[in-house]
């Protein structure tokens, strides 16, 4: 009888564990509606700092790895600072005078200007100075995505071999927020300041967009975290940019989802 009772207990525990896993990644119908209304394919993950509460749409896509595009500027900034490639957020790298495709990029840049502008040439110059060997070491140390670069050190996050999932973006951002990365606190402080996209008395949003335009389908990202009401919430959105105008849905969906869940 004891063995039978123990068996039932084990079955009960297994069922509870299974239920917890299912609930953690259960499809959120309200979040799904945000994508359906805009007729875009994508995923969003919203997670509390302790991971006990997670809202998700399209869990299979949330586990799928994609090019990080300009969201890689988050670790890239830390790597460049840590390696002494650039001293701080104000150090200038001179524009070479060649048209970079956008007037805002056609000028001297610093981290302070290049990060919010997603200035490709600035970060490509940093990448040349960092070099592939050091990138591989850093990617492995911080467990960023698949930890791979590829043949071109100046484009591996745009069209190379580097890939990361929405769930992995969340994990990485939690380490950024908590300072659990092998980087100098002063450098983390610079990054966190650069990441601020909105600040009110009620909340701070630190985030970065990304747009992989050199692949088909194009991939759009918006990742970051919200400090509000004495806690921190993390989000990662990616979607296919199939037509002109879809790119704006990266932020639109993310912000509406955060409001929907009472985070903002």
- At 199, is the pLDDT very low, low, confident or very high (cuts 50, 70, 90)? very high
Query: Is pLDDT above 80 for 18?
Result: no
Could you tell me if residue 5 is inside a domain? no
Q: Assess whether pLDDT exceeds 80 at residue 28.
A: yes
Query: Rounded CA gap, 259 and 40, in Å?
Result: 20
Mean model confidence pLDDT for the chain: 93
Q: Give the pLDDT of residue 17.
A: 44
Domain assignment present for 207 = yes
In a domain, 157, yes or no: yes
Q: How many CA atoms lie within 13 A of 107 on its CB side?
A: 8
**Which domain CATH number covers 200?**
3.40.710.10
In the predicted structure, residue 21 carries a pLDDT above the cut 50 = no
- Has residue 248 got a pLDDT over 70? yes
The answer to whether position 6 is within a domain reads no
Task: List the domain range (segments joined by +) for residue 70.
Answer: 29-93+100-261
Q: Please determine, for residue 11, whether its predicted confidence score (pLDDT) is greater than 90.
A: no
Burial class (CB in 10 A: 0-12, 13-18, 19+), 9: exposed
Check whether 3 has a pLDDT greater than 90: no
> Is the predicted pLDDT of residue 19 greater than 50, yes or no?
no
Does 192 score more than 50 pLDDT? yes
Residue 66 near residue 218, CB atoms below 8 Å:
no
Segment 1-25 shows an average pLDDT of 48
Confidence of residue 26 (pLDDT cuts 50, 70, 90): confident
What is the model's pTM? 0.90
pLDDT digits (tens, 9 = 90+) for 103-137: 999 999 999 999 999 999 999 999 999 999 999 99
Query: How far apart, in whole angstroms, are the C-alpha atoms of residue 55 and residue 234?
Result: 10
Closest CA to 70 of 138, 148, 147, 169: 169
User: How sure is the predictor about 23, in pLDDT bands with cuts at 50, 70 and 90?
Assistant: very low
Give the pLDDT confidence of 31-57 residue by residue, as tens digits. Answer: 999 999 999 999 999 999 999 999 999
Concerning whether 47 is annotated as a catalytic residue, the answer is: no
> Is residue 3 situated within a structural domain?
no
DSSP assignment, residue 150?
-
Cα separation, 11 vs 96, whole angstroms: 67
Please tell me the predicted confidence (pLDDT) of residue 8: 46
The verdict on residue 8 lying in a domain is no
Rg of the chain over all Cα atoms, to the nearest angstrom: 20
Q: Is residue 25 helix, strand or coil?
A: coil
For residue 162, is it within any domain?
Answer: yes
Residue burial 28-40, b: 16+ Cβ < 10 Å; e: rest: beebeebbeeeeb
Q: Domain tally for the chain?
A: 1
Residue 115 in any domain: the answer is: yes
Of 47, 70, 118, 254, the active-site residue reads 70
Cβ atoms of residues 259 and 107 within 8 Å: no
Burial class of 161 by CB neighbour count within 10 A (0 to 12, 13 to 18, 19+): middle
Of 244, 192, 199, the closest CA to residue 220 belongs to: 244
Per-residue confidence (pLDDT) for residue 6, from 0 to 100: 53
Q: How far apart are CA 189 and CA 78, in angstroms?
A: 10
In tens, the pLDDT along 61-108 reads 999 999 999 999 999 999 999 999 999 999 999 999 999 999 999 999
Report d(CA 179, CA 164) in Å as an integer.
Answer: 20
Residue 78 token pair: 């830390």
């Amino acid at each position: 009888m004891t063995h039978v009772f123990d068996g039932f207990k084990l079955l009960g525990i297994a069922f509870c564990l299974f239920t917890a896993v299912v609930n953690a990644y259960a499809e959120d119908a309200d979040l799904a509606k945000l994508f359906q209304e805009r007729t875009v394919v994508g995923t969003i993950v919203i997670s509390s700092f302790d991971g006990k509460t997670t809202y998700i749409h399209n869990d299979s896509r949330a586990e799928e790895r994609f090019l990080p595009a300009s969201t890689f500027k988050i670790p890239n900034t830390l790597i460049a600072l840590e390696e002494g490639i650039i001293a701080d957020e104000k150090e200038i790298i001179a524009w070479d005078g060649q048209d970079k495709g956008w007037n805002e990029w056609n000028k001297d840049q610093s981290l302070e200007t290049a990060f919010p502008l997603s200035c490709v040439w600035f970060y490509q110059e940093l990448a040349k100075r960092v070099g592939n060997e050091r990138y591989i070491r850093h990617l492995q140390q911080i467990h960023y995505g698949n930890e791979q670069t590829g043949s071109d050190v100046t484009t591996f996050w745009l069209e190379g071999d580097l890939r990361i999932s929405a769930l992995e973006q969340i994990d990485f951002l939690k380490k950024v927020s908590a300072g659990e990365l092998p980087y100098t606190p002063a450098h983390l402080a610079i990054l966190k300041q650069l990441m601020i996209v909105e600040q009110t008395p009620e909340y701070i949003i630190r985030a970065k967009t990304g747009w992989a335009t050199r692949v088909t389908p194009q991939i759009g990202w918006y990742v970051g975290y919200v400090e509000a009401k004495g806690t921190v919430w993390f989000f990662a959105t990616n979607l296919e940019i199939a037509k002109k105008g879809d790119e704006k849905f990266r932020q639109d969906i993310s912000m509406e989802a955060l409001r929907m869940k009472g985070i903002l």
